[in-house]
Amino acid sequence: MTTTVTGVTDLYPSRGTTEVSVPRQDPVVWGAPDTPGPIGPIPAGDLQAFERDGFLAMEELLGDDEVGVYRRELERLVADPAIRADERSIVESKSMEIRSVFEVHRISEVFARLVRDERVVGRARQILGSDVYVHQSRINVKPGFGASGFYWHSDFETWHAEDGLPNMRTVSVSIALTENHDTNGGLMIMPGSHRTFLGCAGATPEDNYRQSLQMQDAGTPSDEALTDMASQYGIKLFTGRAGSATWFDCNCMHGSGDNITPFPRSNVFIVFNSVENKAVEPFAAPVRRPEFIGARDFTPVK
């Protein structure tokens, strides 16, 4: 059964009484190398791999000098008492160290330039087939010795239910600012999982974002569903040098483990949404999340 929110049909029901599985109703790649107009920097073979797997790993998006610039800016932000006191900073529940800083492209001109870099935004435009705006940006700080992970989830499930994104026309890029080992809590994705939407059971609490940004509860799949998906798709763990990047579709089932090693894992995370997929009211939440988490400024990145 489909419903509508502010006149928009809900193609992906979630947060009901039971868990539901729905085939993807949207394209994965909205643009293509052989279409007229701006082509973009992704070769045809890589674009086909993205469509098939839901992700595209790049060994080097940024050079060593560039990584140094962004890492120093991350360290400056994390050390700034004013940033720590800002509501856009999320702290670890146990250590009380900064876990994430949201809307970093508005806080920092250094990261704003990265968002506008054609190596970054050009790929987003190509995948989504339109101009794009930033739905969310953040730096994730995962220091050694106990930084907690992010449990299995589909970003789109949350962005649809709580932010009101109607369709799967959103892509994320995670750019490593430290080396990603196979032991320090790296990103894991189930290849191909982006073709099935898993609607989670359970209503969304009011102001759910306050808890979910530290430890997600609402919008998490059942153990049974995760076991089925992992058996069907497998799990890919991403490793790579600082400056490597992973592009992934908004509906990929993904997560990361705790980092109990001495080696930090920090990254900048940018979410691009098509200007033709602007957020409406939430599909399964009593109120929208704050704009620093789910943007309502749809100005294209130029």
Band (pLDDT 50/70/90 cuts) for residue 32 is: low
Q: What pLDDT shows up at residue 143?
A: 83
- The model's pLDDT over 80-124, given as tens digits with 9 standing for 90+, comes to 999 999 999 988 777 778 889 999 999 999 999 999 999 999 999
Segment (H or E) for 197: strand 196-199
Q: What pLDDT shows up at residue 205?
A: 87
79 pLDDT above the threshold of 90: yes
- State mean pLDDT over 136-153: 90
What are the φ and ψ backbone dihedral angles of 128, each rounded to 5 degrees?
-95, -10
- The model's pLDDT over 53-78, given as tens digits with 9 standing for 90+, comes to 999 999 999 999 999 999 999 999 99
Strand-pairing partners, residue 147, are 259
Burial profile 235-263: b = 16 or more Cβ within 10 angstroms, e = fewer: ebebebebbbbbbbbbbbbbbbbebeeeb
Please tell me which residue, 183 or 34, carries the higher pLDDT value.
183
Q: How far is CA 46 from CA 57, 96, 169, 245, in A?
A: 9, 40, 18, 14
Q: What pTM was estimated for this model as a whole?
A: 0.93
